[in-house]
Structure 1
């Protein structure tokens, strides 16, 4: 009886059980392609997230004024590309 218990204990110690690995950064913020256009007077700031190991695509997130949350923007939209250029020019002038 003791040998069986010792063997069972040894087997449990030898088994390497691992759960699913978690990525600390998480996944992409934007689940879909995102909005093609937003009202400029509602945007507080833009967050540009480059491709990373956890998300292979560039993401552009507009933080809205008055606590309206965050909206994902489509980085391929002409409106969004122009918006980024304008924001960069404004930042250079400051």
Structure 2
């Protein structure tokens, strides 16, 4: 009887260790960035309808700037490190 209780207690202890280990792991290891097909360094401001800035997160480690163009509702990703894009962001802020 004592041997069965010891085995049960040991099993419960090991299961709780396993749960703690699984809970602490990062769930998504792949980046989930929106700008996967490259970025452009400049775009004429008159062509832009909307600008969306996504800050870096756990799922995507870098900032992304996505512009929607007026004609055709096409979306482009801007390079946040490009000098002209930096100037545009400074003006918007």
TM tier relative to shorter chain: 0.5 to 0.7
- The alignment's TM-score, normalised by the length of structure 1, stands at 0.61
SS in 1 for 2:39: coil
Q: What displacement does 1:37 show?
A: 0.3
TM-score by structure 2 length? 0.61
Extract unaligned runs of 5+ from structure 1.
1-21, 89-94
Q: Out of 72-81 and 43-52, give the one that drifted further.
A: 43-52
Give the gaps of 5 or more residues in structure 2: 1-26
C-alpha separation in 1, matches of 2:73 and 2:35: 17
Residue-by-residue CA offset, 1:35-66 (whole Å, 9 max, x unaligned)? 00001110012111001111011001111113
1:41 aligns with 2:34: no
**Alpha-carbon separation, structure 2, partners of 1:74 and 1:33:** 9
| Structure 1: distance between partners of 2:90 and 2:63 | 16
Q: Cα deviations across residues 6-31 of structure 1 (Å, max 9, x unaligned)?
A: xxxxxxxxxxxxxxxx85xx710011
How much is the aligned-residue C-alpha RMSD, in angstroms? 1.9
